[in-house]
A and B are shown apart, each in its own frame.
Chain A
Amino acid sequence: MAISAPIGLKAAFLEAARTKSGLAATAMLGFLILLAVLVPLLVPFDVVRQWSNPGQWSDNPKLVPPEWSEVFTGKRQPRTVIIPPAGQSGGFDHVRVSFEVQGQNYTIVVLKQSFDFQADAFPSEISLYMTTMFGSKSPLVRSWLTRPDGQEVQLFEDTPSLRASNVSQFRPADVITYSLTYPSFKDPSYQVYANVKQWLISNNVTTSGEWGELFPSPTGFYSNPPKAQVLLMAQLNHSMLDPRTAQVLKGKYSIKFEVDGFSSVDDANARAVVFGTVYGLIGTDDQRRDLLIALLWGAPVALAFGLAGALATVLIQTILGAISGWYGGAVDELVQRTADFYLIIPTLPILILIGILYRPSLILILFILVVFGVVGATTKVTRSIVLQVKEEQFIEAARSYGASRGRILFRYILPRVMPYTFALIALTVPAFIFLEASLSFLGLGDPNLPTWGQLLGNAYGAGPAIFYTFWWWVFFPAAGIIFTTVAFALLGYAFDKVLNPRLREQ
């Protein structure tokens, strides 16, 4: 008993959706489409536009795994703590005293705030931010950290030369950053190591010689030196010198700045960030960017790119193939020879060349792909289907009752081809998604839009070690690509199963 293929797009779709792979595909695609619709509402596009602006992401920890990854380590990982500038809620307490001594005006500003630290691991970084206002002479800025055990450690001294006009606003342009974790040798914040050394020696935790082994030269650290935040926040004993054995001293810490100014106008404001070791749902990259935003936005971008590319190329190819098969003769010859020519054009190398020369936008990449795909394999497939349908006797009967060639092609033949076209679209979408990912991976994608391929490319570009160690940077975009392509491949497979008589189950 012959089971005929369903006729018409709707029937084919309904039947395809009932197969196992069709069901899976429908569920997966439904999820993707829902995501694609919701993402622009949840994460405004403005956020994505700032993707390449490093200032946007400076409060995020660098290259940290997702928050939920602490279930694997079993340790409570610290979240990022931000102490905002004075004037904001929870910000630094600000005390300012101006006075005059012997005709000379002085101002003292004290900024102080505490935070509670209960995590089992050390913060990944500590950064302090300062903005100062002064007269002709730079003020003297000093800062201290007070630990839960009552110990007070001086962090650094500085005489900042960057003059702000208004300290309450804390404008980024007026702010000096003191990174305690990654100071360069010239930075005032490098003093923290000298101060900590003095403090530890005075507490008999280390000796000058041992310290010299930890920091053998002022220009370089050896493999795994203790960072400032470890030394500052560990329990005070010898184990703190090795980050692997150092124990977190839990409790209330406070950060204090004292600014001694030499005029009556002097004022200062400060901000502090104690960076966590985990972030968000899927972590951050080496530019401190929240990978979740890129992952979520990757879905609509990949869907739109894949669908637009597949729809455009497959539809154009279908119509050209149908015309070629139906009209035959010189038209057929022209289309088929062009298709042969197009099939041997190496599209990827050309795209790479264009990518290197022009760094095209996503839209332009799409356009180029469509231009290189107006004829191709689908043209040939459609032509062969049309050649089959053309021989069906109702076509001849239609000619005998006067149906025009155009009517027969567009009303009778193309609707018969559409289910196959739809299957081909479904199977072509992954190709486009992969192509975009490949280009982005090679660093030739649209630099302004985060795509899954680009995330992978960034991860790869950051070096092979990073590529293997920082799994979240690789895993999630790769999973996004695989999920989407598998969804479309399953849909295409379901269609194929329904339409291809040889695959139809008995």
Chain B
Amino acid sequence: MTSPLLAGVLLAGATALVALAALVLGRVVRGPTTPDRVVAVNVVGTTAVVVIALLSAALDEPGFLEVAIVYGLLNFLLSIGLAKFTIERGGVL
């Protein structure tokens, strides 16, 4: 069982991370090159994994960790796909 103090700290951390992810969006939009955007969206995905892990601990729901694991996997695949697409245009699958 997570103590209310710890849950509060974890939720505050999650809020801060989401705010930071919003800042990273600036890099996604501005670029200027595609690799910049790929790395930026990878950062957003990693933030998503961490936020879900924090929520899992704060809300005392260990089942949420499975979602975080799937996210980590998808985030990796997304970055690989985008990177491959950038190098050889059209070679996604």
Q: Do A and B come from one complex?
A: no
